[in-house]
Amino acid sequence: MFDKRAWIRLPRNVVIGHGVIEETATALSDLHLDGVPLIVTSSTPKTIAAERIAKQLEYDPPIELIDEAKFASVERVIDRAETESVDFLLGVGGGTVIDVAKMAADDIGVGFVSIPTTASHDGIVSGRGSIPQGDTRHSVAADPPLVVIADTTIIASAPWRFITAGCADIISNHTAVRDWQLAHRLKNVEYSEYAGALSRMTAEMLVGNADSIKKGLEESAWIVMKALVSSGVAMSIADSSRPASGAEHLISHQLDRIAPETALHGHQVGVASITTEYLHSGQDGEWRAVRDALASIGAPTTAEALGHTTEDLLEAMTTAHEIRDRYTILGNGVSEAAAREAAIATGVI
């Protein structure tokens, strides 16, 4: 009997471009998002974007500042939204702000609008939230944004490292898909050809456009933002973060626990991806292509450039498999000797 089914949740409108933040009110009314929103943001995006958005709205919206990706932050946003009886939520900022606002909106059952102020991660469009808790890291399903408004003027003016982090998050899709295929073969994990192909194509197109990704060039923000949207769509098609998150993400999540706030998410997954590609395909495999792609856009390719010690990286590599029930090339754990060999052979340490 044929009993397959899929429920793909995607944003209704994606608005990307020069100065589009000034069209926020129009984008909201286009989707009949009326009433009072709660703006969830952090300190820098509040000044550069949230206050400009508030001025366009009919009512003076409440603003909630958050600084950490924690379930407690999600609870705080839910409480504020309920106290203020708001009608929908706007997440204005980096990945943490967007994840927290997305999860809170899903919990309350109101619409969510994603307004990224950096191009540093592919959670901008995805139907997932990523939150650490104790020794684990949850990838939580949450309704994706109804609208995404990405102003390339703001994104291009942010520190350059955010753009290279977004590129590295996309380049790491290469190993994420490899891990997903491995899990499909060895553990019968469901694999989507469409989501896998879209995710890989997104990474390849970004690398193909590396020459146009240059500091000070607004077009860089345009190229990277389109790739982040495409990667988020792949996650929505898969109804999982699998197309964009494999062993390299597990290692990055462990680094966040071992040495918090040392490096950006995208940079960590990029460096980890060099080592996991080596674990997949060995000395003659494609790890050089991953490293060179990262280097071509100016993303870090070594633990030192991330600010992590050799010990921390090796600890993350050898314990990353414990963080989540997600089968990858790390299997039930790589030995310290194997992790060291992969990191030395690839020049990561």
Q: What residues numbered 225-254 form the site for ligand NDP, per CB under 6 A?
A: 241
- Asked whether 16 and 156 are in contact (CB, 8 A), the reply is no
Q: What residues numbered 118-157 form the site for ligand NDP, per CB under 6 A?
A: 118, 120-123, 126, 128-130, 154
**Annotated binding residue 177:** no
Nearest residue to ligand NDP on Cβ basis:
95
Categorise residue 214: left if φ over 0, alpha if ψ from -120 to 50, beta otherwise: beta
Distance CA 112, CA 92 (A): 11
Pick from 244, 299, 306, 314 the residue near ligand 13P by CB under 6 A.
244
**Annotated binding residue 42:** no
Kindly write out the interface string for residues 128-167 of this chain, putting x where it contacts Zn ion by CB under 5 A and - elsewhere: ----------------------------------------
Nearest one of 215, 338, 185, 337 to 276, comparing CA atoms: 338
- Asked whether 147 and 31 are in contact (CB, 8 A), the reply is yes
**Considering beta carbons, is residue 37 or 166 the nearer one to ligand 13P?**
166
Kindly write out the interface string for residues 31-60 of this chain, putting x where it contacts ligand NDP by CB under 6 A and - elsewhere: -----------xxxx--x------------
Among Zn ion, ligand 13P, ligand NDP, none, what does residue 118 contact (CB within 5–8 Å per kind)? ligand NDP
3-class secondary structure for 164-175? HHHHHHHHCHHH
Which runs of consecutive H residues, i.e. helices, occur in 71-158?
71-83, 95-108, 152-157
Kindly write out the interface string for residues 105-124 of this chain, putting x where it contacts ligand 13P by CB under 6 A and - elsewhere: -----------------x--
* Residue with the two structure tokens 């203020």: 84
Q: How far is Cα of residue 120 from the mean position of the Cα atoms in its chain? A: 7
Cα Rg, the chain, nearest whole Å: 19
**Annotated binding residue 117:** yes
Residue 249 in contact with ligand 13P, rule: CB under 6 A = yes
**Annotated binding residue 110:** no
**Considering beta carbons, is residue 48 or 182 the nearer one to ligand NDP?**
48
Nearest one of 189, 157, 195 to 177, comparing CA atoms: 195
- Asked whether 6 and 127 are in contact (CB, 8 A), the reply is no
Nearest one of 177, 152, 150 to 244, comparing CA atoms: 177
Residue 191's contacts (CB-CB under 8 Å, 6 or more residues apart) are: 180, 181, 183, 184
Kindly write out the interface string for residues 62-91 of this chain, putting x where it contacts ligand NDP by CB under 6 A and - elsewhere: -----x-x----------------------
Q: List residues binding Zn ion (CB under 5 A).
A: 169
Q: List residues binding ligand NDP (CB under 6 A).
A: 42-45, 48, 67, 69, 93-97, 99, 117-118, 120-123, 126, 128-130, 154, 158-159, 165, 169, 241, 264-266
Q: Which residues contribute to the annotated binding site for NAD(+)?
A: 95-99, 117-120, 126
